[in-house]
Structure 1
Amino acid sequence: MPSKRLNLLIVAAGLGVNFYGLYGVKFGLPMVGYGGHFQFLTVVGLLVTTLSFTVRIINLLTGTLGPVYEALTAIATPVEGLISALYWPIVLYDKKMLVPDDTIFDLPLALDISLHLIPTIVCWADFMIFNTKFKRSPIHILAIYAFTMAYFVWVNVCYEHNGYWPYPLFGMFKNDTQRGAFFLGCGWFCSVLYKIIAKGHFNIHLGDKKEAVKNLKDRKSQ
């Protein structure tokens, strides 16, 4: 059985990193325009992850808010995986796909990792190792697609106000149909990540499940 104290320590550390990331973005990277920093998937995802970590800590300390945590982590974990999977290859290939030509791309390494890597690691560790009560649900997949398309609508609203996309990558598509297909593809990728971590979770905790079934049978036979 995973250690509750270790789980609390890891999630608390992850929450601290998230606060550092949000603080660094807010005060270190000035942003103008409609939507501000919340135009960016990284920041939106980090906000959801921060809420997930906060609720998780409350859940570990009090045993409450379990369903809220399950809903948040089912979205945050694959979305953070998507952010890391997209961000690092794109940065290595062409940074200009993520920032305009006239922007100085000088994100400090510590802040960069805090935004695009550590939240993913903590999310996946908490989900796969410590979340022993997780149950796979099609509602989680629906929530992932709903989040993806909500962000698609949101960036279009920001574009209508600002006249530019938060990521130049979005402007490379010819029309909204292509952009929508890209977002659907991202939603599909998140759903695949969800299925992968759900399968990994099942394999990791298979022994715990067998033991729980055995204990239940023993109680019924008494």
Structure 2
Amino acid sequence: MAHKQAARQLLGKHPLQRLPSPSRGASAVLHTIGLASFAYSFNYLVTHPNPVNESYGWHLQYLTIIGLSLATTTFAIGLLADLTLSHRLFQMKNILSVASAPMECLISLLYWGLRAIDPKLVMPEWAPPLEFSADLSFHAMPAISLVVDLLFFSPPYTIAFLPALGLSGVIAFGYWFWIERCYQFNNFYPYPIFDLLDTTQRVGLFAVSALLMTTATALLVWLYALVNGKDMEDVVNGDLKKAKSGNVKGQ
């Protein structure tokens, strides 16, 4: 096994990883483009202020902005890994991706789905409408960038179902407790849909969101295998159990 691990390190990437990363080539370009889009989104919040700018919790009351912050951290570490060719930073990026990519997929699904039903469910009446470019930057580009990074510049996820469900549950209900605290100070919810639900219904909404995020993780695992194949060598060598233990470093 030692010679196989050495060979993988010489290749500079996981056997299923399509393109080299960390790399000062295409990987660095992707992370730079992603960070430029994320910076545009944050700048938009400052240059187009609304009452949320002065409220408790700032725009971090929005799951969209929390997800954007996590995506920014993921890509910033990814770019640092590209520039320094640091495998340790690359591992950190991959670990963060396990949370940030499914979370951004969930955000895009919920936002565009609820908006298709009724825009007033996600946009308060007092909030100015988003410009189209900003709407895409907030609610589409993070998910697209992270999925592309996973499919072409990362090793496969190997997180099992229960850890994925636990992670999703912590994020979903952690966010619920956060917005309830913000409500105590601001007397409004960031998303109008929360005003339409009672406590029991909100619990149901966050539970469903946790399940959807877990499903997003499973779909990303499936999509990765569809695009890149499966590491049959690990299965033959009896490493499948190890792969399902939650190791996400691509080792």
Deviation at 1:3, TM superposition (A): 4.1
Of residues 105, 109, 123, the one that matches 2:132 is 109
Give TM-score scaled by structure 2 length: 0.77
Distance (Å, rounded) in 2 between the aligned partners of 1:213 and 1:195: 19
Distance (Å, rounded) in 2 between the aligned partners of 1:150 and 1:22: 23
Of residues 109, 112, 129, the one that matches 1:88 is 112
Partner of 1:24: 44
Q: How many residue pairs are counted as aligned between the two chains?
A: 211
Deviation at 1:133, TM superposition (A): 5.2
Work out whether 1:37 is the aligned partner of 2:37.
no
Matches within 5 A, 1:204-215: 204-206=227-229, 209-210=231-232
Partner of 2:12: none
Work out whether 1:200 is the aligned partner of 2:217.
no
Going by fraction, where is helix more abundant, 1 or 2?
1
Deviation at 1:194, TM superposition (A): 0.2
Question: Which residue identity is paired with 1:206?
Answer: G
Work out whether 1:186 is the aligned partner of 2:209.
yes
Distance (Å, rounded) in 1 between the aligned partners of 2:36 and 2:112: 22
Q: Residue by residue, what CA displacement relative to the aligned partner does 1:76-107 show, whole Å, maximum 9, x if unpaired?
A: 11111111111123223322112223x15321
- How large is the RMSD of aligned CA atoms in angstroms? 2.1
Of residues 72, 78, 86, the one that matches 2:102 is 78
Instruction: Report percent identity of matched pairs.
Output: 24
Q: Which runs of 5+ in 1 are unaligned?
A: 215-222
Q: Residue by residue, what CA displacement relative to the aligned partner does 1:101-148 show, whole Å, maximum 9, x if unpaired?
A: 3x1532111111110001110111111222125423443442222111
Distance (Å, rounded) in 1 between the aligned partners of 2:60 and 2:127: 20
Partner of 1:220: none
Of residues 56, 60, 75, the one that matches 2:78 is 56
Q: Is the CA contact 2:67–2:104 (under 8 Å) kept in the aligned structure 1?
A: yes
Q: Residue by residue, what CA displacement relative to the aligned partner does 1:25-84 show, whole Å, maximum 9, x if unpaired?
A: 133233222111111111111001100111112233322234432331111111111111
Partner of 2:239: none
Partner of 1:150: 174
Q: Which runs of 5+ in 2 are unaligned?
A: 1-17, 237-251
Q: Is the CA contact 1:58–1:64 (under 8 Å) kept in the aligned structure 2?
A: no
Deviation at 1:13, TM superposition (A): 0.4
Work out whether 1:14 is the aligned partner of 2:8.
no
Q: Is the CA contact 2:156–2:221 (under 8 Å) kept in the aligned structure 1?
A: no
Give TM-score scaled by structure 1 length: 0.86
Q: 1:32 to 1:150 in 2, by over 3 A?
A: same
